[in-house]
Amino acid sequence: MDTFQPEKAIVPIVIASEHDPIQEILGTGCFIGTSNNLHILTAKHIFELGERDEFAKYAFLFNSGKRVEIWAISEIVASKDYDIAICKIAPIEGAIPLQFAKQQPALNADVYCYEYSQISIERKRGGGKHIKIEPFAHKGNIMRYIESEYPEKVKTQCFNTSFPALQGASGAPVIAHTQNKNFYIAGIMVANQETHLMPAQVVKIEDGESYIEETSYFLPTGKGINSSLIIQVIEELGVEIEYVDSNVSLICKAKTFLLKLLNC
């Protein structure tokens, strides 16, 4: 994919019903698969927030260019071990499924995230609701790759981003690009790395030899699940996906080659 149109590929996932079109915003997801066999990739935990109205259904919002429409999610297939879910949906004209790559991007690679944490539902005085859809975009880097064991029940291949995962951003794809500017899914956002907060700035106030005060300013890092693990889950479900024609590995190979030269 050499042109990235996030509004056609990334959607908010909601709770909806006939008497209350949009009850709640759950998270973010993205289209994967093919135009004739379309699915949504998202985080499993957004569907685990308790019981709903008996008439409520899981759905998503899609902007066709003319208006925002509510589309039903027909089935949710969740991974047993990982925070990954695949939603079965009907084909949608104008939807653009995102692609994958065979390898993860290098450390410090530029990544992007487009999510719907800023959607607000306001109740009008005379009844009804006003829904304000404001996509939120982040640009940052992959800070490190980790093997996470909490809160996961099994070891999960993850990474940290230099931007946080806001409420409503869970399930949003983390997007990277090849040297040829082909965009692909590097992973999905699932949480903040709250146990590894790193101070962005520490201010100390001292009076001679006496310590008075220290203030730390923290910037939380986001936590995403590697696309390599996502691909594994997708393949087990038999969902067809597309890959970029990539030179993703060139960055990693160049760094390896440079290290070999330095060690000679």
pLDDT (tens, 9 = 90+) of the chain, 264 residues, equals 556 789 999 999 999 887 777 888 899 999 999 988 999 999 999 998 655 667 789 999 998 878 888 999 999 999 999 999 999 999 999 999 999 998 899 999 999 999 998 877 777 777 677 777 889 999 999 999 999 987 888 999 999 999 988 888 999 999 999 888 899 999 999 998 765 555 655 666 666 666 666 666 566 789 999 999 999 999 998 899 999 974 443 333 333 333 343 444
For 76, 201, 213, 217, the CA distances from 207, given in Å and listed in that order, are 60, 20, 10, 21
Pairing of the two strands 210-219 and 173-177: unpaired
Long-range (24+ apart) CB contacts under 8 A made by 87-92 are 87/13, 87/29, 87/39, 87/40, 87/41, 87/42, 87/58, 87/60, 88/39, 89/38, 89/39, 89/40, 89/60, 90/38, 91/35, 91/36, 91/37, 91/38, 92/38, 92/62
- For residue 165, the model assigns a pLDDT of 87
34 in a domain, yes or no? yes
The separation between CA 20 and the C-alpha centre of its own chain, rounded to angstroms, equals: 27
The total of structural domains in the chain comes to 1
Answer whether residue 65 is part of any domain.
yes
Confirm whether 96 is domain-assigned.
Answer: yes
Please give the helix or strand (H or E) that residue 229 lies within, else none.
helix 227-237
Res 171: pLDDT: 97
Instruction: Note whether residue 24 is domain-resident.
Output: yes
Q: Which domain holds residue 225?
A: 6-263
Regarding pTM above 0.85, the answer is no
Query: Which CATH number goes with the domain that contains 37?
Result: 2.40.10.10
User: Is residue 50 exposed (0-12), middle (13-18) or buried (19+ Cβ within 10 Å)?
Assistant: exposed
**Does residue 238 fall inside a structural domain?**
yes
Give domain status of residue 1, yes or no: no
The pLDDT of residue 9 is 96
Write out the H or E segment, with its range, that includes residue 255: helix 249-263
